[in-house]
Every structure is written in structure tokens, then in C-alpha cells.
């Protein structure tokens, strides 16, 4: 059985759709948040503790699901 490759943007859109909490690892820090929006440059709009922030895509190292 052949597995389908998931594109990064598809994964981020699924996190938005499912309202999943994620760990966002940036160059110098890690944030637990919910992703609210994304654009073609992987810039993210995130909700962190009742605050909304914009994170530039070139600062993102890893996005992983928070369990």
C-alpha cells in the first residue's frame, strides 16, 4: 500500500480546521498555541493565552501536535 505524502501547508490547514493545540518551535523559543491562519509564505496567525500574534514563516523551525 502506497502512502500519500502530506505537504506542510496541508498539515497546517488540518491543525487550523481541527483547532488543534500545537508546539511551535521558533529559532530561539517554543510556544504552545492554536494556529488561526496561514498564508503561502507560512506566516502564521496564532492564539496564545488570549493574545493573537503574527509569526513570520522564516522563523519557524518545527510545528508539532501538543498531546
Write down the domain spans for the chain. Answer: 8-65
pLDDT tens digits along 18-65: 999 999 999 999 999 999 999 999 999 999 999 999 999 999 999 999
58 CB burial (10 A radius; 0-12, 13-18, 19+): exposed
Cα–Cα–Cα angle for 15, 18, 23, rounded to 5 degrees: 40
Cα distance between residue 35 and residue 39, in whole Å: 12
Number of other CB atoms surrounding residue 19 within 10 Å: 10
* 30 backbone φψ class: left, alpha, beta (φ>0; ψ -120 to 50): beta
Which pLDDT tens digit goes with each residue over 8-30? 999 999 999 999 999 999 999 99
Per CATH, the architecture of 8-65 is what? Roll (2.30)
Amino acid at each position: 500500500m502506497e502512502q500519500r505524502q502530506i505537504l506542510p501547508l496541508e498539515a497546517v490547514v488540518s491543525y487550523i480546521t481541527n483547532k488543534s493545540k500545537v508546539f511551535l518551535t521558533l529559532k530561539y523559543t517554543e510556544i504552545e498555541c492554536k494556529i488561526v491562519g496561514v498564508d503561502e509564505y507560512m506566516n502564521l496567525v496564532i492564539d496564545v493565552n488570549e493574545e493573537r500574534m503574527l509569526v513570520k514563516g522564516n522563523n519557524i523551525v518545527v510545528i508539532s501536535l501538543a498531546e
